[in-house]
């Protein structure tokens, strides 16, 4: 009898607990439990996309996205307070977007995929197919991403790198060539991984046999930072870029600090023929400057929508340094030292297009041979991801 009473009490307790939990669960956002209340973005078979957001009290909701320039971006509201818009089919690519709700920027609560570009937060999604398939995680062997701290004696601080090692590096004995990959003014050591999809691009190209297995080292080009915002002792600060862009310290520190650290801590091939360096925008200027400073270090040089020293204001205290590095004499030294590939890519609508055109004239004048890739579009990650996917297969052949 006693055991029967105990069993009955246990059942009553369990039922009460379930009732309490049910009441609690009803008060929790259903997305916490993996059940979004609606789908957004909703990618259709023809690659048109429907965006939705439930905000019954709103008076106006707009979709903010770069590809909508000049197009209708107003959402309409139904009787339940759900706002929606269906846009025309998109080409395969990785896209970012957000909403404007009565003038206030709002991320899509139904889409948990968020990216940071400088201080800008956006949701993101991929339209599959063609080029975009390189940006998606595929069923292939994957490399490893590490966040590594190194001592920069030149800058007097401990700093962080992001390092991609290809599948087979851990536990193996082989040595690998290295690509040093530099970001733009709005980035940090996370930019090429989070926005550039460098890990996915390398994984997929290597799996397809289109790229040689390589280590990729991604630096933080802002010398006033130890690491990306929130990942350094400075704490959860809002990143501020700009003041340290053209001061030459990063370029001066690169070989003695970054390259030396990598070559003493990783199994890498240390010959010039096994080193490549590439960068976008500000990182493009860093790249050409580092290459000119060290003509015997890199056999592969890639400039993606590069800024050039000619952009530096004369009143900048480092203008003389950049003028000397960008001189005919330095280009002649680079040419004499030799290299296997000097690759330049730029979009026709890029605000640096004329700057790049002028730089190419300087290369022509000095008889420096280069490969030029001109694409549509402007100063965007859409272009830079494409450039990386075309540049990487040319390396270390």
Low-confidence winner among 241-245, 246-250, 321-325 (lowest mean pLDDT): 241-245
Residues 6+ apart with CB under 8 A from 276: 177, 178, 179, 180, 214, 298, 299, 300, 301, 302, 395, 396
* Structural class in CATH, domain 35-127: mainly beta
Domain segments of the chain as ranges? 35-127, 144-394
Which position has the token pair 């070559």?
Answer: 263
* pLDDT higher than threshold 70 for residue 166: yes
Residues 6+ apart with CB under 8 A from 176: 165, 166, 169, 213, 214, 215, 266, 267, 268, 269, 274
- Dig out the tokens for 367 from the structure: 């008889």
Distances (CA, A) of 160 to 14, 138, 319, 349: 51, 28, 28, 34
pLDDT digits (tens, 9 = 90+) for 117-137: 878 899 999 999 999 999 999
Listed in sequence order, the DSSP H helices in the chain are 2-25, 191-194, 198-207, 249-253, 260-265, 282-293, 319-325, 328-337, 353-365, 381-391
Res 71: pLDDT: 84
* pLDDT higher than threshold 90 for residue 250: yes
- 8 Å CB contact between 383 and 347: yes
pLDDT digits (tens, 9 = 90+) for 286-315: 999 999 999 999 999 999 999 988 887 765
Question: Cα–Cα–Cα angle for 229, 203, 41, nearest 5°?
Answer: 65
Which has the higher per-residue pLDDT, 92 or 70?
92
Confidence of residue 169 (pLDDT cuts 50, 70, 90): very high
The DSSP 8-state label assigned to residue 228 in this structure reads S
Distance CA 299, CA 288 (A): 12
Question: Cα–Cα–Cα angle for 259, 285, 224, nearest 5°?
Answer: 65
Residues 6+ apart with CB under 8 A from 60: 74, 100, 101, 102, 103
- 8 Å CB contact between 364 and 337: no
- Dig out the tokens for 314 from the structure: 């004369």
CATH 3.30.420.10 fits 144-394, yes or no: no
Distances (CA, A) of 176 to 1, 122, 258, 260, 276: 74, 35, 16, 15, 12
* pLDDT higher than threshold 70 for residue 243: no
- The percentage of the chain sitting over the pLDDT mark of 90, rounded to a whole number, equals 77
Distance CA 88, CA 51 (A): 12
Neighbours of 15 (CB within 10 A): 10
Distance CA 88, CA 46 (A): 9
Distances (CA, A) of 106 to 54, 61, 126, 193: 12, 10, 20, 24
Task: Using CB atoms within 10 Å of the CB of residue 297, give its burial: 0 to 12 exposed, 13 to 18 middle, 19+ buried.
Answer: middle
- Total residues belonging to the chain: 397
Question: Which of 151, 149, 175 shows the shortest CA–CA distance to 163?
Answer: 149
pTM across the whole model? 0.89
Question: Which of 349, 374, 354, 376 shows the shortest CA–CA distance to 307?
Answer: 354
């Amino acid at each position: 009898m006693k055991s029967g009473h105990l069993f009955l009490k246990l059942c009553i307790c369990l039922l009460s607990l379930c009732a309490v939990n049910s009441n609690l669960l009803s008060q929790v956002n259903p997305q916490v439990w993996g059940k979004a209340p609606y789908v957004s973005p909703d990618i259709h078979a023809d690659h048109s996309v429907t965006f939705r957001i439930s905000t019954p009290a709103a008076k106006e909701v707009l979709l903010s996205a770069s590809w909508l320039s000049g197009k209708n971006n107003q959402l309409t509201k139904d009787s339940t307070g759900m706002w929606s818009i269906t846009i025309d089919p998109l080409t395969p690519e990785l896209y970012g977007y957000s909403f404007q709700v009565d003038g206030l920027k709002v991320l899509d609560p139904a889409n948990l995929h968020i990216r940071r570009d400088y201080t800008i937060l956006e949701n993101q999604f991929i339209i599959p197919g063609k080029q975009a398939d390189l940006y998606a995680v595929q069923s292939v062997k994957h490399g490893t991403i590490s966040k590594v701290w190194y001592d920069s004696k030149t800058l007097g601080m401990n700093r962080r790198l992001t390092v991609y090692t290809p599948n087979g590096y851990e536990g193996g004995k082989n040595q690998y060539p290295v690509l040093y990959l530099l970001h733009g003014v709005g980035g940090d050591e996370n930019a090429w991984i989070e926005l550039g999809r460098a890990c996915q691009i390398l994984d997929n190209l290597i799996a397809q046999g289109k790229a040689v297995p390589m280590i990729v080292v991604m630096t933080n080009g802002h010398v006033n930072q130890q690491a990306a915002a929130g990942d350094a002792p400075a704490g959860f600060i809002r990143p501020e870029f700009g003041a340290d862009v053209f001061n030459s310290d990063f370029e001066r520190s690169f070989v003695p600090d970054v390259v030396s650290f990598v070559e003493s801590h990783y199994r890498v091939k240390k010959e010039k023929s096994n080193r490549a360096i590439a960068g976008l925008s500000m990182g493009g200027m860093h790249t050409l400057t580092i290459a000119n400073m060290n003509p015997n270090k890199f056999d592969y040089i890639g400039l993606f929508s590069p800024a050039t020293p000619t952009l530096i204001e004369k009143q900048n205290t480092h203008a003389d340094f950049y003028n000397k590095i960008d001189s005919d004499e330095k280009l002649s030294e680079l040419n004499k030292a030799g290299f296997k590939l000097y690759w330049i890519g730029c979009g026709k609508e890029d605000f640096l297009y004329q700057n790049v055109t002028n730089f190419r004239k300087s290369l022509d004048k000095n008889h420096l041979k280069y490969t030029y890739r001109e694409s549509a579009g402007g100063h965007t990650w859409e272009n830079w991801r494409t450039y990386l996917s075309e540049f990487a297969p040319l390396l270390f052949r």
